[in-house]
């Protein structure tokens, strides 16, 4: 499994898990229809509480990134990923605004901030193919 | 005071307060040396716990955005803002990566993501002058 958690981080574990699964989908490491480990097995592998894994899976299911099947278990959404919703755009704006403000106060230029945003977007998708299991 | 908190948000209150003070500094609404309300008075104004305000002020002091004086109380850093530290760059990369991944999965193009990053950077600083008290 490609998941690495930082137990010292300010970011809650469930949110790190959500982020990394979405990053796995973006990079193509996780393909539509791919199975994910069961709640129990992922919790045990990562050494974290089952409720935490459950919270992450539920959020990802609610957002439409995962499906939970009685037979197949948890799989990556096979019927098309969710689009840019109002709620996502709102979250994106809020978080980018906060990062941009801190970057500006710390003296990072608009060009440097834009450049970093672009290159991270590229990184996130251009591992497609490279990170396949 | 320009602070608006969303008590329903997933983002903890102390983090919202930190973000908004940094955004105030970025926009110029808060100038170096400007006084901030005392912990008690801000807590009462916003209807939030004093420990929460204290946590935000302490984080901002640790990062170098605020100074706490015995006489002057809490003021915006008058001796130059902190620069782009390794820790900030690390946080920026991590959060941008996560946002970029979700944007990509939802079908937002690189151009749209870059455009939004740039325009939010601009917004955050081009209120300078407009939002002065």
Please, what is the average pLDDT of chain A?
92
The H or E element that residue B74 is part of is: strand B73-76
What are the structural domain ranges in chain B? 13-76, 86-127
Give the one of B22, B117, B118 whose C-beta lies nearest to A102's C-beta: B22
Place of tokens 């499994």: A1
* Domain A13-76 top-level CATH class: mainly alpha
- Closest residue in B to A97 (Cα) is B120
Residue by residue, what is the 3-state secondary structure of A24-84? Answer: HHHHCCCCCCCECCCHHHHHHHHCCCHHHHHHHHHHHHHHCCEEEECCCEEEECCCCCCCC
- Residue-wise pLDDT tens digits, A1-24: 578 899 888 889 999 999 999 999
- Residue-wise pLDDT tens digits, A54-69: 999 999 999 999 999 8
Sites in chain B below the pLDDT cut of 70: 1, 127-133
- Residue-wise pLDDT tens digits, B72-103: 899 999 999 999 999 999 999 999 999 999 99
- Closest residue in B to A84 (Cα) is B106
Distance between the two ends of chain A, CA-based, in angstroms?
A: 9
- Measured in angstroms, the CA of A72 and the nearest CA of chain B are apart by 23
Residues 6+ apart with CB under 8 A from A90: none
- Neighboring chain A residues of B62 at a CB cutoff of 8 Å: none
ipTM of the shown complex: 0.92
Q: Residue A133's pLDDT is what?
A: 40
């Amino acid at each position: 499994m490609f998941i690495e958690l930082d137990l010292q981080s300010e970011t809650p574990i469930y949110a790190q898990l959500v982020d990394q699964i979405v990053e796995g989908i973006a990079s193509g490491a996780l393909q539509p229809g791919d199975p994910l480990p069961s709640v129990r097995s992922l919790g045990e592998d990562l050494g974290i509480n089952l409720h935490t894994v459950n919270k992450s899976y539920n959020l990802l299911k609610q957002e439409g990134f995962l499906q939970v099947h009685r037979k197949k278990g948890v799989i990556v959404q096979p019927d098309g990923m969710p689009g840019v919703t109002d709620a996502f755009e709102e979250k994106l704006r809020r978080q980018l605004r906060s990062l941009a403000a801190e970057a500006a106060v710390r003296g990072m230029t608009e060009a440097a901030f834009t450049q970093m945003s672009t290159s991270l977007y590229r990184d996130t998708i251009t591992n497609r193919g490279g990170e396949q299991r």
